[in-house]
Amino acid sequence: MLLGFLASLFISGILLWWSRPHNKPIIGWLSVLPPGLITVWQVLRIPEIAAGNFYTERWEWMPSLGLDVSFRLDGLAVLFGLIVAGVGAGVALYTHYYLEKKPSQGYFYLALFSFMASMLGLVWADNLLTLFVFWEGTSITSYLLIGFDHEKAQARTGARNALLVTGAGGLAMLVGLVLLGQSAGSYSISQIVAADGLRESAYYSVAVVLIFVGAFTKSAQFPFHFWLPGAMSAPTPASAYLHSATMVKAGIFLLARMHPALSDTPLWFWGLLIFGGITMLIGAFFAIGKYDIKALLAYATVSQLGILTMLLAFGSEYAVLAAVVGVLAHALYKGPLFLVAGIVDHATGTRDMSRLAGLLRAIPLTGLAAVLGIVSMAGLPPTFGFLAKELLLENGWEMIGHGETLAGWLVFGGGAIAGALFVAYSLTLLWEVFLRRKADATDAAHVHHPPSFGFVLAPLVLVLLGTAAPFLLGPLALLIDPAATAISNETIHSHLALWHGFTPVLITSLIAIGSGTLLFLGRAHFRRLLASLPKNLQGDLLFEQGLRGLYSLARRTTRLVQDHTLAGHAAVVLLVAVVPVVAALSYTSISELLPDLTGEVLTGPEMIMALLLVIAAWATVRAKSRMSAIISLGVVGVTVTLFYVFFSAPDLALTQLLIEVLTLVLLVLVFYKLPDDKRPPQGRLRQAGIVFVSFCAGVVGFVLVLFNSSEAMNAGTAISGYFTDNSVPLGHGANIVNVILVDFRAFDTMGEITVLAVAALGGYALLRAPAARLLSPLLNEANTTEAEEMEETDRA
């Protein structure tokens, strides 16, 4: 069922792409259906899950590696699953209006729905490796979505940085997950979470640190936070969906998933507390200085993600509930706010807050959605955001009460400061864009393109859901409690309420709101202060420098191992192959490896072929012109083919012959046109070097073949016997070579054809490169294919 859902999302992505949806509004509405149905299905599962009956699904992928495709719908999975599918349904509709009449809309849908499938797979996964595969899927689709406007350099840089950071983090995380799986003896998440003793494992700290790296890169935690604001060059639906509601929470999700198994150690506690706390503060701090609505929202998101990370350091009921409510509340206000930013951009042509004013009156429905969302973002009562913040402070207060003063005050104080900053930037956004009169803004932008109803619908519905949520806490507990239980592994029955009476927490909350308002009034000073900070405090510049260093290192090593002649390249490759083999051989006794040749007689035909081979090779080397060298090289190849025929290896012979023919034809074609070789003859030393390398390579090749047929080498190799025995019964084929290729060793072949495909891309790029074009000025323009046109625009 679940796998079917993922497949159906992917297929609908392809269908949407095919249907060219950009001028068919009906398709925009239809695109809501697949994620909408998944949302409904999950909602219907909630009562079962609340009762503790989890829906599971499992397929064996590679049982020998512990790799299954398995899904398990517990409270945490369904919470995130609902956010992914529910917000996804809204974003699908919104996309149609945002990318109005753009022919590339279909492609965006394809990438968006592929992302949705990956993200749902990630949150439903019950196997570490399944989770990893979908995790990487989200990284790649996110790269495609950020780089959607690939004509813009900014989009390309943003996409590249996001991919490098999350990709590198993903690889680190893979190592951590494998360490975890090996020390737990299982890759099944539900088994790992239930297992004891992981904290005593020798690999615990390494695994946790690596998993932190994965989670921090994905969820934009300090010091990797810079990629998220950079990713704002994505089209707004992608920013709203990936970079606020879903993907950036994947790291939080992973930490929450692993919480029962790994938490409650100093490493876990302080790691999350410190990095989450720093992220929370710098995100909120920088958000105030931004004039671009999307940039402000991006830094606010970074800050919110910091809060969630910090909360997961704890295991208390308040902290876990605060995390769950925070995730849900954030999806229901930040997602719609991003969507609103897109509508504002569409309607006025700018996202610059200094040029916007009075939009509540100009576009009232959008304005309503924005006001409700911003109030929740500010954490003002009685919103969902307020509830989340109260729980956070409550957690800190409880810690202080229990004697954990340092951590408690850190959370309590940090939370209060962040709360004040949240209020400040929320009020700024609310006042400057939506409330103040037009006359207050210099050069105010006009609404020249009011949004249609379908455009506003998605943010409005989401924000209304978020507004209604705090008044429906009873039914919501069915969703929140199982999720909190999955994080803490102890059954949690929440008794959430908006009103707790006059507690110290409420008073702190009110003080924070008050100081936030003061900050808002003095925002001009604050912005000036932030603008005067040195630019390289932002991580992206450092990252850029590091990247440039890497490039120049690559250039230098390339220059070191590749000089400007083909012979030089070949010499390096051959030496690299020869040296380790010789080193390895020096540890063995050669006499053992020599085959027993007594009784072996050289037959007449064999002798003739060998002679032919030697003569042809000699002729190739001594040839005066290129043509004769190519021809005699062809003779060498065909003679080798003859050897295969002689020793009855028809498949090898066929392949070799075909390759030989194709190479020969191509070489003749290309070399025939080349001008004569007018270079001066090589120096003695260089010539001697080439001869030496060739000699070494030849001798090593010969010796290896010789050794290969010796008793000692074949003693332990039972594998060929296995192939001959099982080819027909298991492989259903009598041609062993083919059965090995497509069945026994299908994985290898898969790798090989993938390499071939990648090599084709490289070859395509090389042959179309400017240097190749110089050689072929007669490029027929009428013959340009679509791919070439794309390449042209890319270059422009």
Q: Which residues bind other proteins (CB under 8 A)?
A: 59-63, 67, 69, 650-651, 654-655, 658-659, 661-662, 665-666, 669-670, 672-674, 730-735, 737-739, 741-743, 746-747, 749-750, 753-754, 756-757, 759-760, 763-764, 767-768, 772, 775-780, 783, 785, 787
Beta strand residue intervals within 261-326, DSSP E: none
**Main-chain dihedrals φ then ψ at residue 234, nearest 5 degrees:** -70, 155
- The residue among 576 and 759 lying less far from other proteins, judged by its C-beta, is 759
- The residue among 602 and 756 lying less far from other proteins, judged by its C-beta, is 756
**Min CB(63)–other proteins separation in Å:** 6
**CB-count burial class (<10 Å; 0-12, 13-18, 19+) for 558:** exposed
Helices and strands: H and E segment counts in the chain: 36, 2
Helix (H, G, I), strand (E, B) or coil at 197: coil
**Min CB(756)–other proteins separation in Å:** 5
**Min CB(79)–other proteins separation in Å:** 28
Two tokens at 526? 């604050």
Q: Please state the separation of Cα 70 from the chain's center in Å.
A: 20
- The residue among 595 and 733 lying less far from other proteins, judged by its C-beta, is 733
Two tokens at 96? 């149609």
**Min CB(754)–other proteins separation in Å:** 7
Two tokens at 366? 């959008």
Under 8 Å CB-to-CB from 403, ≥6 apart: which residues? Answer: none
**Min CB(601)–other proteins separation in Å:** 28
How many C-beta atoms surround the C-beta of residue 691 within 10 A? 11
**Min CB(278)–other proteins separation in Å:** 42
- The residue among 171 and 657 lying less far from other proteins, judged by its C-beta, is 657
Under 8 Å CB-to-CB from 130, ≥6 apart: which residues? Answer: 61, 67, 68, 69, 70, 71, 121
**Min CB(753)–other proteins separation in Å:** 4
**Min CB(3)–other proteins separation in Å:** 8
- The residue among 627 and 775 lying less far from other proteins, judged by its C-beta, is 775
- The residue among 381 and 733 lying less far from other proteins, judged by its C-beta, is 733
- The residue among 85 and 653 lying less far from other proteins, judged by its C-beta, is 653
Q: Which residue has the tokens 């970079």?
A: 243
**Min CB(761)–other proteins separation in Å:** 8
Cα torsion 340, 346, 352, 354 to 10°: value is -90
Rounded-to-integer distance, Cα 742 and Cα 746, Å = 5
- The residue among 607 and 746 lying less far from other proteins, judged by its C-beta, is 746
**Min CB(780)–other proteins separation in Å:** 6
Taken in order 185, 191, 196, 201, the sign of the CA dihedral is positive
**Min CB(10)–other proteins separation in Å:** 12
For the residues of 442-494, what is the DSSP string, one character each? TTPPP--SPPPHHHHHHHHHHHHHHHHGGG-HHHHHHHHHHHHHHHHSS----
- The residue among 69 and 242 lying less far from other proteins, judged by its C-beta, is 69
Rounded-to-integer distance, Cα 214 and Cα 139, Å = 12
- The residue among 304 and 656 lying less far from other proteins, judged by its C-beta, is 656
Helix residue spans in 99-146 (DSSP H): 105-124, 128-146
- The residue among 209 and 666 lying less far from other proteins, judged by its C-beta, is 666
**Min CB(660)–other proteins separation in Å:** 10
- The residue among 61 and 431 lying less far from other proteins, judged by its C-beta, is 61
Rounded-to-integer distance, Cα 541 and Cα 161, Å = 11
- Residue 538 DSSP one-character state: S
**Min CB(649)–other proteins separation in Å:** 9
- The residue among 11 and 607 lying less far from other proteins, judged by its C-beta, is 11
**Min CB(144)–other proteins separation in Å:** 15
Rg over alpha carbons for the chain, rounded to the nearest Å, is 32
Long-range contacts of 70-73 (CB under 8 A, 24+ apart): 70/125, 70/126, 70/127, 70/130, 70/188, 71/2, 71/3, 71/121, 71/124, 71/125, 71/126, 71/130, 72/124, 72/125, 72/126, 72/189, 72/190, 73/2, 73/42, 73/45, 73/49, 73/124
**Min CB(657)–other proteins separation in Å:** 9
**Min CB(792)–other proteins separation in Å:** 16
**Min CB(658)–other proteins separation in Å:** 4
- The residue among 594 and 645 lying less far from other proteins, judged by its C-beta, is 645
Could you tell me if 671 and 628 are in contact, meaning their C-beta atoms sit under 8 angstroms apart?
Answer: no
How many C-beta atoms surround the C-beta of residue 128 within 10 A? 26
Rounded-to-integer distance, Cα 145 and Cα 159, Å = 8
Rounded-to-integer distance, Cα 208 and Cα 298, Å = 27
Beta strand residue intervals within 364-448, DSSP E: none
- Residue 68's DSSP bridge partners are 60
- The residue among 556 and 732 lying less far from other proteins, judged by its C-beta, is 732
Helix (H, G, I), strand (E, B) or coil at 315: coil
**Min CB(235)–other proteins separation in Å:** 25
Rounded-to-integer distance, Cα 247 and Cα 255, Å = 14
Could you tell me if 320 and 255 are in contact, meaning their C-beta atoms sit under 8 angstroms apart?
Answer: no
**Main-chain dihedrals φ then ψ at residue 68, nearest 5 degrees:** -120, 160
- The residue among 507 and 659 lying less far from other proteins, judged by its C-beta, is 659
- The residue among 118 and 348 lying less far from other proteins, judged by its C-beta, is 118
Rounded-to-integer distance, Cα 608 and Cα 750, Å = 39
Helix (H, G, I), strand (E, B) or coil at 515: helix
- The residue among 518 and 760 lying less far from other proteins, judged by its C-beta, is 760
